[in-house]
């Protein structure tokens, strides 16, 4: 029994790390690239082109082993956690409070939405750049045409919100998992901090998204 608990505890730690590093860092890096669109289509295309100056095999290796595999592992164990949780809202409300239980549920839901969003975004945009390298010279036009579809635009907005919330609230959960925020005061601070992170990331992401849609 003790070995099983220790194994689960270690898996939870690795799960949190695969969510923060490198996937969380990648998300913030990606939002920064999109934010460059606020400087115009040329600024965005230049930023994208600079990323693709590295050899294609190296870029693909980084995307597969540093982003996609950690993302997949994080998603799979996230499903395991969701499956193992029973009566999360009703059963734990007296002990942890309704707010924290809803945050727990939202973390699972946004995790699923974020996974679908990132997978679709990477699959479609990378497929375009791999099959038609010339697109790299004006990826801004491709994204603008894509976001001109209202359904696709809202898909990106929902995916962005889910990704930002999952990462921001994940920072709060990492503090608990790694024993950094145990007391009530430190957890209140963690909630305030994660809320601020969500607002900042969402603000940066929406500015970039709206800029791309305006081209």
CA distances from 179 to 175, 186, 198 (A): 6, 11, 22
Which residues span the domain enclosing 175? 2-213
What per-residue confidence (pLDDT) applies to 9?
Answer: 64
Decide which of 95 and 24 is more confident: 24
Lowest mean pLDDT among 58-67, 80-89, 138-147, 185-194: 80-89
Q: Mean per-residue pLDDT for 8-36?
A: 79
The gap from C-alpha 205 to its chain's centroid, in whole angstroms, comes to 11
| pLDDT tens-digit map of 146-171 | 999 999 999 999 999 999 999 999 98
Q: Encoding tokens for residue 114?
A: 């974020």
| pLDDT tens-digit map of 104-135 | 888 888 988 998 998 888 888 877 777 777 77
Q: Which CATH number goes with the domain that contains 85?
A: 1.20.1300.10
Count: domains in the chain: 1
Residue 77: pLDDT over 90: no
Nearest to 71 by CA among 119, 108, 107: 119
Angle, helices 150-177/184-213, rounded to nearest 10 degrees: 160
Residue 91: pLDDT over 80: no
DSSP state of 74: H
Residue 182: pLDDT over 60: yes
Q: What's the CA gap between 26 and 186, in Å, rounded?
A: 27
| pLDDT tens-digit map of 33-61 | 999 999 999 999 999 888 878 887 888 88
Our separate counts of H helices and E strands in the chain read 10, 0
Question: By CB neighbour count within 10 A (0-12 exposed, 13-18 middle, 19+ buried), where does 95 fall?
Answer: exposed
Q: What's the CA gap between 13 and 206, in Å, rounded?
A: 31
């Amino acid at each position: 029994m003790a070995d099983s608990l220790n194994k689960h505890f270690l898996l939870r730690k690795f799960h949190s790390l695969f969510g923060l590093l490198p996937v969380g860092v990648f998300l913030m890096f990606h939002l920064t690239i999109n934010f460059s669109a606020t400087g115009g289509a040329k600024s965005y295309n230049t930023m994208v082109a600079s990323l693709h100056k590295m050899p294609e095999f190296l870029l693909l290796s980084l995307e597969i082993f540093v982003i996609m595999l950690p993302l997949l592992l994080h998603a799979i164990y996230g499903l395991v956690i969701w499956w193992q949780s029973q009566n999360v809202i009703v059963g734990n409300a007296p002990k942890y409070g309704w707010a924290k239980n809803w945050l727990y549920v939202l973390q699972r839901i946004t995790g699923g939405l974020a996974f679908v969003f990132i997978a679709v975004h990477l699959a479609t945009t990378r497929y375009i750049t791999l099959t038609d390298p010339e697109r790299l010279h004006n990826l801004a036009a491709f994204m603008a045409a894509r976001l001109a579809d209202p359904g696709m635009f809202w898909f990106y907005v929902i995916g962005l919100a889910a990704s930002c919330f999952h990462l921001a609230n994940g920072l709060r959960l990492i503090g608990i998992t790694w024993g950094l925020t145990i007391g009530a005061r430190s957890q209140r601070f963690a909630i305030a901090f994660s809320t601020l992170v969500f607002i900042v990331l969402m603000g940066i992401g929406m500015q970039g998204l709206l800029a791309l849609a305006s081209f």
